[in-house]
């Protein structure tokens, strides 16, 4: 989750990516995040079960 630096959900991405410039949150000055896709929640964990991302850092591939 953003600012928490933890994994709290798993989602399916049922759409292709698309470009949209309407803000979906209050952007920082000059920020534009146009590449989007639809998501469908698969698993939503309670906050006490979120997995800290730092614990998985060495196992993730980017």
Report the 3 state secondary structure along 8-55.
Answer: CEEEECCCCCEECCCCCCCCCCCCCCCEECCCEEEEECCHHHCEEHHH
Query: Does residue 62 surpass a pLDDT of 80?
Result: no
3-43 tens-digit pLDDT: 889 999 999 999 999 999 998 888 888 889 999 999 999 99
> Residue 36: its pLDDT value, please?
96
Residue 1 has pLDDT above 60, yes or no: no
pTM of the model as a whole: 0.63
Give the pLDDT of residue 2. Answer: 63
pLDDT of residue 38: 96
């Amino acid at each position: 989750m953003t600012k928490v630096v933890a994994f709290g959900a798993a989602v399916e991405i049922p759409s292709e990516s698309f470009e949209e410039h309407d803000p979906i949150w209050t952007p920082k000055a000059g920020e534009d995040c146009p590449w989007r896709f639809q998501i469908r929640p698969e698993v939503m964990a309670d906050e006490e079960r979120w997995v800290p991302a730092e614990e998985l850092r060495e196992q993730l591939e980017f």
